[in-house]
Structure 1
Amino acid sequence: MAARHEEIAGELRRAIDREEYAVGSRLPSETDLAAHYGVSRGTVRQAVAALTAEGIIGSRQGARRVVLASRRSQSFAELRSFAQWARAMGREATGRVVAQEYRPATTEDAVRLQLPAQARVLYVLRVRGLDGEPVLLERTVYAGWIADAVAALEPDCPSVTQRLYDETGLVFAYGEHVIDAVAAGAQDAELLGVRRTSPLLRVRRVTTTHEGRPVEWSEDRYRSDAVSFSVHNSTANNALARKTAE
């Protein structure tokens, strides 16, 4: 059974997700929250500390806490799969493989995955959905050493990341992400149910193991009306970098 402060933290997360407390707004005072939940201020303080540690609310001594983010945004503060992020919001993640083939590595594949030219890789085009609604296209290239394990998964596997961990012990430990905007092409529009040239958020990412061995590289295209991204940075830890368009 969860401790009371964990239950309160969960209720506050859900309230923030429902935008009862919008990003940029202030939470009620500890005194007001304690009265609302019928607990001591110390219990509220523990609940608030959990949300602060997650980057959902800001910490400022002597002031009411400000809401920084909700789990509706996919944050890069931690490396989560799409399915893990969906579950955190209480949503159901779906996946469907549209195309899958082994092929020789292109020049870009070889560079991103640190492979010899023409090495065998697995290309997968997958549609991802939230509660059955398509929101993301993943065009992923897997290094040959993990390709057979990916190819053996069922086409509608909701979480490749979790299944590979369960079956092979593989941990997707590090990721580099480049985010920009592109117009939907004909295939994008058909699979996502949007108009051609609609704006999509594009994320190009390379994921590696703890040892730095590349696992995959992917170009992901999100419907801009369905998903947003947040980056939490500070003067002490700034993971955000600006780049010119390539």
Structure 2
Amino acid sequence: MNVEENMIDVQSWTGRTMEIGFTMTAQFQIWLVTQGEVEVRVNGTRSRLRAGMALLLDRGQITKVERTDDSFHMTMVQVDPFDLMAAPLADCYVTPFIETIGHHVLHPTEPGHKAVLETLHKVVRSLQKDSAFALLDATLQLAVVWRYWIQRPPVTRLHGQERMQRMISYIHDHDTMKLSLEDIAAVGGLSRAECCRYFTKWGDTSPLAYVQVVRMQRAARLLRDTDIPVAEVANRLAFTSVSHFVQTFKKVHNRTPLAFRKLNT
């Protein structure tokens, strides 16, 4: 579901729809796990989120979903914090903190976390109501969450974070192409060996292995959202052999393209 004008974006994710791999947050983002569990790395640090827990992310955080349960369900709320209050207040309570709060895991058994989690659930319930004040209520509640968050100790951006962001963005922007290790390393201003070390540190993977994951995620979207033949999907992703494409797809998604399409359409 999306709120009018996209001021507050709310999406539901399940084990089937949550893509495995890196993403980068462009806005204030909240992951509220309601069922099952998910294993995720945030800036290279692994966390396991279970039902009832939440993850708060500020802008520019590098996340990597590694595994989800089949029963996994999560609500993701995304909003620009500058939209939560008037400009004079934003100058005092958003601008100084916008890139220093990092990420934070909320657990219902931790002191002080329960009240914030309850407020997050109120945000989702408010946006689900057919009410003229739904957006106002959700905005006020998110401002309370933001107030809690900016009182936490500031976080220093990690060394190399911008390099990693550039390389991940490049891979996603060229996911129909066969990228080389040299291509990726050059975007990050690194040697090939340094590039490999970055991906190992931040995601326990190699650059080229991640390229394959991203390309197969593109393939999955094409299979799920269109009715084009498997051979055409392979062709769009620059595979010269359909059998090679099928083998690669099965390695990532644990089923053939046709089986995947049947399960997801």
What TM-score results when the alignment is normalised by the length of structure 2? 0.22
